[in-house]
Chains A and B, each alone.
Chain A
Amino acid sequence: MGQRIYLGEFEELILLLVGVLYDDAYAVAIKAELATQLGRNVNISAIHSALRRLEEKGFARSEMGEPTTKRGGRRKRLFSLTQSGKIALDENRTIRNQLWQQIPDISFS
Chain B
Amino acid sequence: MNSQNQYPRPPRWINKLLEWYCKPDQLEDLQGDLYELFCDRFESDNQFKANLGFLWDVIRSFRPGAIKSFTFFPDTIMLQNYFKIAFRNIQRNRTFTAINVMGLVVGLTASLFIFLWVNDEMSVNQFHKNGPQIHRVLSNMHLPTGEIATWTNVPFNLVKVLEEEYPDVDKTVLMTEVERKLFSVNGQKIRESGIVAGKDLFNVFSFSLLFGDAETVLSDPRSMAISEKTAEKYFGENWLEKAAGQTITLNNSLEYKITGVFEDIPEQSSLKFDFVTPMDEMISRQPWQEHWGNFNFQMYIQLVDGIGLKEANQKIENAIVKHYPSSEAYLKLQPFTDEYLYSEIENGEIVGGRIEYVRILSLVAVFLLIIASINFMNLSTAQSSRRAREIGIRKVVGATRSSLINQFMGESIILVCLSMILAVISVEFLLPFFNNLTGKNIEVDYASPAYWGSLLLLTFITGMLAGSYPSLFLSSFKVVNILKGTLKFDVREVFMRKGLVIFQFSLSILLIIATLVVYQQMNYMKGKKLGMEKENLIYMSMNDKMKNSFHTVRNELMQNPGVEAVCSSNQSPLAVYNSTTDPEWEGMTPDQKTPFSVIKTDENFVSTMKIQIKEGRNFSQEFSLDSNNFLINETAAKVMGLTDPLNKGLAVWGREGKIIGVMNDFHIGSLHSPIKPVILTFRPEDCWMLFVKTKSGQTESAISSLSKVHQEYNPEFPFEYQFVDQKYEQLYKSEMVISQLANIFAFIAMFIACLGLLGLATFTAERRSREISIRKVLGASVPELVVLLSGAFIRLVIVSVFISVPIGYFLMKNWLENFAYHTDLSVSLFIISGVMAIIIAWLTVSYQSIKAAILNPINSLRSE
Contact = CB atoms under 8 A, between A and B. Distances in A.
Contact of A75 (B6, B32, B60): B32
A26 B29 contact: yes
A52 B25 CA distance: 12
Contacts of A77: 29
Contact of B33 (A27, A64, A67): A27
Residue of A49, A67, A69, A73 contacting most chain B CB atoms (<10 Å): A69
Contacts of B66: 45, 48-49
A43 B57 contact: yes
Contacts of B57: 43-45
Q: Which of the four size classes fits the interface of chain B?
A: 20 to 34
A71 interface: yes
A44 B35 contact: no
A71 B60 contact: no
B329 to A, nearest CB: 69
B60 A69 contact: no
A102 B65 CA distance: 40
Contacts of A76: 29, 32-33
A48 B30 contact: yes
A44 B34 contact: yes
B39 interface: yes
B4 A73 contact: yes
Contacts of B31: 72, 74
Given A45-B61, A52-B65, A28 B9 contact: no
Contact of B4 (A44, A52, A69): A69
Q: Is the interface of A mostly helix, strand, loop or mixed?
A: mixed
Interface in B14-69: 28-37, 39, 56-57, 60-61, 63, 65-66
B7 interface: yes
A45 B54 CA distance: 12
B3 interface: yes
Nearest to B66: A48
Contacts of A43: 56-57, 60
Contacts of B36: 28, 70-71
Contacts of B7: 69-70, 72
A72 B37 contact: no
B54 to A, nearest CB: 11
Contacts of A73: 4
Contacts of A49: 63, 65-66
A73 B5 CA distance: 11
Contacts of B33: 26-28, 44, 48, 71, 76
Contacts of B65: 48-49, 52
A72 B35 contact: yes
Contacts of A44: 33-34, 37, 57, 60-61
A71 B35 contact: yes
**Max chain B CB contacts within 10 Å: which of A26, A49, A72, A77?**
A72
A72 B27 CA distance: 13
Contacts of B4: 69, 72-73
A26 B32 CA distance: 11
Contacts of A46: 60
Contact of B28 (A45, A48, A74): A74
Interface in A17-55: 26-28, 31, 43-46, 48-49, 52
Interface in B481-513: none
A28 B37 contact: yes
Contacts of A27: 29, 33
B492 to A, nearest CB: 44
A94 B65 CA distance: 32
A74 B61 CA distance: 18
Given A28-B33, A45-B60, A69-B6, A75 B39 contact: no
A48 B61 contact: yes
A64 B29 CA distance: 8
B39 to A, nearest CB: 5
Contacts of B32: 67-68, 71-72, 74-76
A69 B34 contact: no
A48 B56 CA distance: 15
Given A28-B37, A44-B34, A48-B66, A69 B29 contact: no
Given A26-B33, A44-B37, A74-B35, A69 B3 contact: yes
Contacts of B28: 64, 74-75
A76 B33 CA distance: 7
A69 B2 CA distance: 10
Contacts of A48: 30, 33, 61, 63, 65-66
A31 B57 CA distance: 13
A81 to B, nearest CB: 18
A36 B563 CA distance: 111
Contact of A72 (B9, B56, B60, B63): B9
A101 to B, nearest CB: 39
Interface in B52-94: 56-57, 60-61, 63, 65-66
Select the residue from A26, A45, A76 with max chain B CB neighbours within 10 A. Answer: A45
B34 A70 contact: no
Contacts of A70: 7, 35-36, 39
B41 to A, nearest CB: 11
A73 B6 CA distance: 12
Interface in B259-300: none
| Centre residue among B4, B32, B36, B57 by max chain A CB count within 10 A | B32
A77 B37 CA distance: 15
Contacts of A28: 33, 36-37
A31 B33 CA distance: 10
A46 B66 CA distance: 12
A3 B33 CA distance: 34
B136 to A, nearest CB: 58
A77 B32 CA distance: 9
A16 to B, nearest CB: 20
Contacts of A71: 32-33, 35-36
A52 to B, nearest CB: 5
A61 B35 CA distance: 23
Nearest to A71: B32
Contacts of B60: 43-46
A48 B61 CA distance: 8
A28 B35 CA distance: 10
Contacts of B29: 26-27, 64, 74-77
A5 B39 CA distance: 37
9 contacts: A26-B29, A44-B37, A45-B60, A45-B61, A48-B33, A69-B3, A69-B4, A74-B32, A77-B29
Top 4 closest pairs, chain A to chain B, by CB = A74-B32, A71-B32, A77-B29, A45-B60
Interface of A: 26-28, 31, 43-46, 48-49, 52, 64, 67-77
Given A44-B61, A45-B61, 8 more contacts: A31-B37, A44-B33, A48-B63, A49-B66, A68-B32, A71-B33, A74-B29, A74-B35
